[in-house]
């Protein structure tokens, strides 16, 4: 179909595999940090609530490209933080990209989880506190398990958005799919077929994810 393109000289699988790695590591970090932020936003401690609200509102409204470039330029090249990677290596920019995605995507995870927390009846938390459980125990044992079950579908949307946002990592030289696409366009000068190849690749990554997590959402939905 694309005989006029010399695809053998390009590592398409390697580029998309790096995109998958970016997505997986960033998703795990975003889920952890986003859940912590959500806990802060519903915390009875005013300082924690203020920090969570401030962080989410500031970072969520900051361009993702600015965050990714900022992580690389400020942390890696100005402050020389390598995160156990050799300075200047591909591993370093990969880790900076993951950090940037985690800082940004966690704000959306936070709001999704917080909306799930709000769906849990207040009486359940009050009953748990009456049994002597503290805030952390109520949150982790009673509230969060139900909250996550009610927000699987919205979290799937965040994951799909994260997968597509990994193209921003090209701004700091991470050799993922968007970087290879730019290289191919420069070398082959065939915009439409190359764009079709990479659009199809991202569809193959995101469509099964949406279908699978949509099925999971129906299976684990809380019956009220």
In a domain, 5, yes or no: no
The DSSP code for 171 is G
Query: Residue holding tokens 């191919």?
Result: 184
In a domain, 1, yes or no: no
In a domain, 179, yes or no: yes
| pLDDT tens-digit map of 175-194 | 677 777 777 777 776 777 78
pTM of the model as a whole: 0.86
Query: Residue holding tokens 């990714």?
Result: 68
CA–CA separation, 119 and 112 (whole Å): 11
Predicted local confidence at residue 87, as pLDDT: 45
| Coil, strand or helix at 36 | helix
Domain that holds residue 202: 10-220
CA–CA separation, 57 and 150 (whole Å): 24
> Is 51 in contact with 37 (CB distance < 8 Å)?
no
| pLDDT tens-digit map of 100-129 | 999 999 999 999 999 999 888 888 888 888
Predicted local confidence at residue 38, as pLDDT: 94
Count of domains observed in the chain: 1
Residues of the chain with pLDDT under 70: 1-8, 76-90, 175, 189, 222-224
In a domain, 203, yes or no: yes
Predicted local confidence at residue 6, as pLDDT: 60
Predicted local confidence at residue 49, as pLDDT: 93
CA–CA separation, 131 and 177 (whole Å): 52
In a domain, 164, yes or no: yes
* CATH at residue 67: 1.10.3720.10
In a domain, 152, yes or no: yes
Predicted local confidence at residue 78, as pLDDT: 67
How open is the CA angle 16-21-191, to the nearest 5 degrees?
25
As to burial, measured by CB atoms within 10 angstroms (0-12 exposed, 13-18 middle, 19+ buried), residue 54 is exposed
In a domain, 4, yes or no: no
Predicted local confidence at residue 59, as pLDDT: 94
Q: Which two tokens stand for residue 97?
A: 């990209």
In a domain, 2, yes or no: no
């Amino acid at each position: 179909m694309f005989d006029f393109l010399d695809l053998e000289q390009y590592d398409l699988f390697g580029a998309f595999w790096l995109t998958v790695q970016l997505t997986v590591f960033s998703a795990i970090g975003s889920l952890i940090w986003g859940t912590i932020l959500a806990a802060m936003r519903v915390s009875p401690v005013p300082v924690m609530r203020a920090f969570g609200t401030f962080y989410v509102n500031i970072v969520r409204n900051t361009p993702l490209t600015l965050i990714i470039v900022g992580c690389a330029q400020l942390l890696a090249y100005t402050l020389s933080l390598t995160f156990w990677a050799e300075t200047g290596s591909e591993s370093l920019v990969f880790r900076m990209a993951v950090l940037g995605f985690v800082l940004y995507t966690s704000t959306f995870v936070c709001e999704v989880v917080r909306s799930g927390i709000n769906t849990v009846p207040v009486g359940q938390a009050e009953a748990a506190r009456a049994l002597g459980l503290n805030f952390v125990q109520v949150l982790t044992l009673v509230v969060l398990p139900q909250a996550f079950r009610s927000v699987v579908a919205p979290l799937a949307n965040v994951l799909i958005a994260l997968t597509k946002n990994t193209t921003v990592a090209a701004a700091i030289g991470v050799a993922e799919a968007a970087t290879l696409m730019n290289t191919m366009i420069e070398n082959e000068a065939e915009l439409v077929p190359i764009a079709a190849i990479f659009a199809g690749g991202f569809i193959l990554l995101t469509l099964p994810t949406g279908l699978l997590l949509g099925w999971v959402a129906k299976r684990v939905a809380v019956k009220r």
